[in-house]
Amino acid sequence: MSWNTFGRVLRFTTWGESHGPAIGVVLDGCPPRIALSEEDIQPFLDARRPGQSRFTTQRQEPDQVRILSGVFQGQTTGTPISLMIENTDQRSKDYGEIAQSYRPGHADYAYDAKYGIRDYRGGGRSSARETACRVAAGAIARLIIPEVTITGWVEAIGTSAIDYARFDAGQIRANPFFCPDAVKAAEWEELVDSIRKAGSSVGATVMCRAEGVPAGWGAPLYGKLDADLASGMMSINAVKGVEIGDGFAAARGTGESNADAMAPGAGGAPEFASNHAGGIAGGISTGQPVDVRIAFKPTSSILTPVPSITSTGEATEVRTKGRHDPCVGIRGVPVAEAMLALVLADHKLLHRAQVAKR
């Protein structure tokens, strides 16, 4: 994990700014002879793409991905896979006024404090547009772990949480909220609409689950599967919290309430009575579903004026009038899924490096 590179043996490096000519990602370490074309990647980008409903930003980007290297005659060659997405809808004029003042809650001030310069157009490098690159890389990661099924959903928008009694995975793609609870999805239409009309924003909690992960991926102590997941998820724009399994709820319980009893299972693997651990013990997968929950803060781009300062240190107020997501957590679902796929694929390769196939 370096500045703009994530991963250990399956590594990706992203580049590009919100309003530059393009953004892109180079994925290195991919196993050879995996069938791959743009069609394997595009559906995931489409799922994340803005402008598809009134509940996300109205920025219109086709987000067409192009494979520039690493694939020959329809198969990966083991060399770096370079993916590029052109930026087509760059309304720089929207951002003119923030050139001189810091948007509270955004990275504007921090970037300037660090680098003494920032590309203020659309947040530049700090824009969530970068997450398209993760989604593209994640689509390839999924092909490396065909044994694993990854599913993400929105668990709550603001204080409005789904009811797990109504959980239906088939609903997730059937509404614009990645919501597995049809009743709640209907409620969220109204909720998010009112937020959007008010020029406000709201946070969200996203849950991601990987089924089919065999026991044994991950490694003590600083290569723990959960440590890498925490790093990868926390690196997503607007994420402020990460939980594995029961997370903070586990901290409120006892050893008895948190125990995951085991019994002899089919095929030699144990059968677990519960999954408080979220599929990871001691940093290593147990064979249960890997559960990760992440908290997206409400975007700071709101119509309500917030006191701030200019880049020369004077008092000002900032109101954000650009095209923004009322709830960035919604489009965070495909991003979180991609990060989960990327971490798991990396650990699959790492596991066979040290232990080989057993």
Give the residue with the Cβ less far from a copy of itself, 170 or 263: 263
> Which helix or strand (DSSP H or E) is residue 48 part of?
helix 38-48
Residue 36 to residue 41: CA distance in whole angstroms: 8
Q: Which residue type, as a one-letter code, is found at position 276? A: H
Give the residue with the Cβ less far from a copy of itself, 175 or 201: 201
The count of C-alpha atoms lying within 13 angstroms of the C-alpha of 276, restricted to the half-sphere facing its C-beta, is 16
Q: Kindly report the three-state secondary structure assignment for every residue of 279-344.
A: CEECCEECCCCEEEEEEECCCCCCCCCEEEEECCCCEEEECCCCCCCCCHHHHHHHHHHHHHHHHH
Q: How far is the CB of 264 from a copy of itself (least distance, A)?
A: 5
Cα of 297 vs its chain's centroid, Å: 13
The DSSP code for 135 is: H
Q: How far is the CB of 165 from a copy of itself (least distance, A)?
A: 21
Q: How far is the CB of 184 from a copy of itself (least distance, A)?
A: 15
Spatial contact of 331 and 325, defined as CB atoms under 8 Å apart? yes
Q: How far is the CB of 48 from a copy of itself (least distance, A)?
A: 16
Q: How far is the CB of 193 from a copy of itself (least distance, A)?
A: 14
- Torsion sign over Cα 94, 99, 101, 107: positive
Burial class for 313, CB neighbours closer than 10 Å (0-12, 13-18, 19+): exposed
- What value does the CA radius of gyration of the chain take, rounded to a whole number of Å? 21
Give the residue with the Cβ less far from a copy of itself, 174 or 271: 271
Give the residue with the Cβ less far from a copy of itself, 82 or 149: 82
Q: How far is the CB of 81 from a copy of itself (least distance, A)?
A: 8
Give the residue with the Cβ less far from a copy of itself, 154 or 172: 154
Give the residue with the Cβ less far from a copy of itself, 2 or 170: 2
**Contacts of 115 by beta carbon, 8 Å cutoff, 6+ apart:** none
Q: How far is the CB of 170 from a copy of itself (least distance, A)?
A: 25
Give the residue with the Cβ less far from a copy of itself, 33 or 170: 33
Q: How far is the CB of 290 from a copy of itself (least distance, A)?
A: 12
In Å, what is the CA distance from 37 to each residue of 75, 133, 147, 179?
Answer: 8, 16, 20, 29
Give the residue with the Cβ less far from a copy of itself, 163 or 174: 163
> Which helix or strand (DSSP H or E) is residue 112 part of?
helix 108-115
Q: How far is the CB of 232 from a copy of itself (least distance, A)?
A: 8
First to last CA, the chain: 28
Give the residue with the Cβ less far from a copy of itself, 89 or 174: 89
